[in-house]
Structure 1
Amino acid sequence: MPAKIKKRSDDSYLLSVAVGYNDKGRQIVKTKTIRAASQREAEREYTLFAAEVQKGTVAYTGKYKLADFAKTWYKDYCLKNLAPKTQRSYRNHTKNRIIPALGHIDMVKLRPQHIIKFIEELRKPGLRLDGKTGTLSDQSVMYCFRVLSSMLQDAVQWQIISNNPCGRVKPPTIKHHKYNLPSEADIRKMLVYLTDEPIKYRMIILLALDSGLRLGEIMALRWDDIDFKTSILKVEKSNQVLGGKGIFTKAPKNQSSVRSLALSSSVMDLLRKYSVWQKKQKLILANEWIDEGWIFTKWNGKAMYPTTPSQWFSKFLKRKQLPHMPFHALRHLSATLLISLGIPLKNVSSRLGHADIRTTANIYGEALQSVDRQAADQLDQYFRKTINK
């Protein structure tokens, strides 16, 4: 352990206070250089500094590489607090992008300039983890920045650093992805074609359109989540699939994603028919059926893989020669239809489970502008009629 008070020059002293050990068994020492006229004054300053350290108001000032902290952070925070899929994503981004670029830097020496350069490097070709050519998407760059910022914010909370340098950097910009939604004619064709498809998949597609639920939320639905008397659907969880782990159920994306919403009468009617169909399947399979209460299942009653509806939907559109769109676009189509019908944005946002109404406004700006133009045209008609009278 270094000396508590070490004289460096005539009026300069280095104060050192030990505060325990890091994950490698090395002693953590917080230091402070002061100016003092005498040894006695230095001792008084040391007493004050030691008190601040004990209160937890002084950040760690020793050498601690970002790579070492990242490993500790993953073990002590990510593994204990994040869902399995998020854990794996954080680990991949930390291991493959953050540590190679910033891992050699001492935590206390990390500056906004390092973060800015890191973001610039992320935009260069060759960093994709899926083997595809080209550069990372805006969303991937932002996600990586958020992982780093989350890590450094915890470092502040744990008193490893005094502030988060990401907070002093302008976040990467994201151009919101614009879905090329089908025309009204193609939507009508799709709905007509669905009537001849297996009831299970017809039910999934129409429920997605009616509710605007995320695919994982649909796959996590059980029969007791639906009140057939009130036509109210409860959304409280989400199903995901992860290699090596299989299907697992987790809490929804955020607290606002836990919600209740009303379903249309036509979808409720189809749900009742689907329920009867599923009960018949149970009788046919007898002991082979594993009853876990899922609405959408594999052949034997086990939870359906979250990727299955997407694959089926893609093949269905191709088979019917309809424009391709990802399954998630059904959520956007549902929201766009609601907005076009004049449903208030706040209600649309709550139905989608967005944490912030601004998220809804940003994503559906064009649809909102279209409705706004309709409102202006109706006002114009009112003014003209009134003036002509």
Structure 2
Amino acid sequence: MASFRKRGDKWEYRIKYTDPSNGKRREKTRSGFRTKKEAQIEAAEIEKKLYLRQHSILQNEAMLIKDWFEEWLHTYGSQGSQSTLENRKNYIKNHIIPKLGHYHLSSLPRSEYQKFINNLTNKYAITTVRTIHSIFCSAINKAVNEEKLTFNKYQGISIKKENDIAEEKKNYLTKEEVQVFMTAAKLCAFHHYIIASMLLRTGMRKGELIALEWSDIDFKKKTISITKSRNENRTKAPKTKSSIRTIKIGDVLIEELEKYRLWQKKNKMKFGADYHTSEYVITTPRGKEIGPFGINKVIDTILAKTNLHHITPHGLRHTHAIMVLESGADIKYVSTRLGHATVNMTADVYIHITEKYDDRNVDKLDSYLN
């Protein structure tokens, strides 16, 4: 039964009903009616729908998370930028739907969602986990607004991890660990090894790596020109001007790339019409270009052959920067090589390394003066 009351000069109704998602009693309230009669008319209609199970909350009991997220993307996804839409699609397609898509929208337990978040924190950077959680909650909140759900029970989920600085320190390999990692990479497919080697020896972002074309590599001058980035859907300009850069590479990588280019040519002959012709450097054996999540899988595949802690492709960028700093390069050179907007950005990220070299430089000064 609905109840009614007057608040100020307006009327409101309250209807109590059973939430189909958990069997608990809920209350639907709406105010702003000019007369009690108006409130009674709408309340009677709502009660009728609830009784006949025609209300949207009840009608959507059978809707799967997969179906709602696809509908949400189609309806509301274009309200942000193109890059935001593409990121949402990627996270939903590669993380949310594979793990949670089979649940009914109204019946995913909070505890199961917490387990999903916990598993993500064991594999990905804290910022990635927070982004996925934010996307999930945005879609759930919209489902609440459209009365497909009564409330968002996933708010306040715990995302426990060490602070960002500590995480950045962990997301890299030591010199000894690099040897273990690259030994394991040699046991994998050749293009997997090349991906690992290029990330470690260039410090490129994974988006920059998968956008790289053979014309960007100058084998005579031993340079790589980084002028673009790519995601699952398109190639785009880098976010900042400083990301556009040309870096030097060593003889080892030059030799590996020459072997890899020959490997691609042999595959083209081997697979014939089934080979996907592309100018991209990073491809599958059949010539198909690889996306950012494909790069993640490659690194995970290599790590699975070791006892090393988990790192991301970006962790290999950190590893490269640390190795360059430890080899004696100054922070300005590293900043330019990584494509950072400012030297301060580089110093902030690698402060644990620069502080160590501050101590060494002071010792050198003392030794010189004495």
In structure 2, what residue type is equivalent to 1:218? L
Residue 195 (structure 2) pairs with residue 204 (structure 1): yes
8 A contact 2:198–2:253 mirrored in 1: yes
Corresponding letter in the other structure for 1:372:
D
Matched, 1:179 2:169: yes
Contact kept, 8 Å, 1:179 with 1:329, in 2: the verdict is no
Answer yes or no: is the 8 Å Cα contact 2:184–2:302 preserved in 1: no
> How far apart are 1:203 and its partner, in Å?
1.0
Partner of 1:41: none
Change (3 A) 1:293 1:130: farther
TM-score (norm 1): 0.54
Q: Highest CA radius of gyration, 1 or 2? A: 1
Read off the aligned partner of 1:382 and give its amino acid letter: Y
Please say if 1:235 is aligned against 2:226.
yes
- Superposed CA deviations along residues 33-64 of structure 1, whole A, max 9, x for unmatched, are xxxxxxxxxxxxxxxxxxxxxxxxxxxxxxxx
* Residue-pair matches, total: 240
Give the 3-state SS of the residue equivalent to 2:247 in structure 1.
strand
Q: Following TM superposition, by how much is the alpha carbon of 1:175 offset from its aligned partner in structure 2, in angstroms?
A: 4.5
**How far did residue 230 of structure 1 move?**
0.6
TM-score (norm 2): 0.57
Q: Secondary structure at the match of 2:117?
A: coil
Aligned in 2, Cα 1:272/1:382: closer, same or farther, shift over 3 Å?
Answer: same
CA contact (8 A) 1:83 1:250 kept: no
Contact in 2 for aligned 1:318/1:324 (Cα 8 Å): no
Three-state SS of the structure 2 residue aligned to 1:179 is helix
Q: Partner of 1:186: helix, strand, or coil?
A: helix
Cα distance in 2 between the residues matched to 1:129 and 1:237? 37
Q: CA deviation at 1:306?
A: 1.8
**Counterpart AA for 2:231:** Q
- Is the CA contact (8 Å cut-off) linking 2:216 and 2:226 kept in structure 1? yes
Give yes or no for contact 2:180–2:306 (8 Å, CA) kept in 1: no
Deviations 1:60-86 (A, max 9, x none): xxxxxxxxxxx9xx76xx55xx53546
Aligned equivalents of 1:356 and 1:303: distance in 2?
32
Structure 2: distance between partners of 1:218 and 1:321: 26
Change (3 A) 1:272 1:211: same
| C-alpha spacing 1:175/1:258, structure 2 compared with 1 (3 Å) | same
Match of 1:257 among 222, 225, 243: 243
- Cα gap change, 1:189 to 1:265, in 2 (>3 Å): same
User: What are the Cα deviations for residues 242-293 of structure 1, in whole angstroms up to 9, with x where unaligned?
Assistant: xxxxx32122232211111111110011000000111000001111112121
Write out aligned runs for 1:176-325 (5 A). 176=165, 177-180=167-170, 181-241=172-232, 247-325=233-311
**Conserved? CA contact 2:224–2:249, under 8 Å:** yes
- Code of the residue aligned with 1:179 in structure 2: it is K
Given that 2:224 and 2:246 are in contact with CA atoms closer than 8 Å, whether structure 1 keeps it comes out as yes
Moved more, 192-201 or 248-257: 192-201
Q: Is contact 1:220-1:237 (8 Å) kept? A: yes
What letter matches 1:178 in structure 2? E
Q: Which runs of 5+ in 2 are unaligned?
A: 1-74, 93-109, 135-162
Q: Which residue of 2 aligns with 1:132?
A: 117
1:339 aligns with 2:350: no
Cα 1:205–1:336 change in 2 (3 A) is: same
Letter of the structure 2 residue corresponding to residue 184 of structure 1: K
Q: How far, CA to CA, are the matches of 2:210 and 2:342 in structure 1?
A: 24
Pairs within 5 Å for 1:38-57: none
Give the deviation of 1:206 after TM superposition: 1.0
Q: What aligned pairs does 1:346-365 form with structure 2 within 5 A after superposition? A: 346-365=332-351
Check the 8 A contact 2:126/2:164 in 1, yes or no: no
1:317, 1:268 → 2: CA distance?
Answer: 25
Q: Which of 1 and 2 has higher RCO (CA within 8 Å, sep 6+)? A: 2
Aligned partner of residue 233 in structure 1, secondary structure: strand
How far apart in 2 are the matches of 1:262 and 1:348?
12
In the aligned structure 2, how far is the partner of 1:189 from the partner of 1:302? 29
Task: Give me the CA root mean square deviation.
Answer: 3.4
User: How has the CA–CA distance of structure 1 residues 138 and 278 changed in structure 2, closer, same or farther, with 3 Å as cutoff?
Assistant: closer
Matches within 5 A, 1:75-94: 78-79=80-81, 82-83=82-83, 85=85, 88=88
Residue pairs, 1:152-171, within 5 angstroms: none
The 1:280/1:353 distance shift into structure 2, 3 A limit, reads: same
Partner of 2:369: 383
1: CA distance between counterparts of 2:114 and 2:181? 35
CA contact (8 A) 1:310 1:327 kept: yes
Identify unmatched segments of 5+ residues in structure 1. 1-70, 93-124, 145-173, 242-246, 385-389
State the distance in 1 between where 2:88 and 2:294 align: 22
Supply the distance in 1 between the matched residues of 2:261 and 2:280 (Cα, whole angstroms): 11
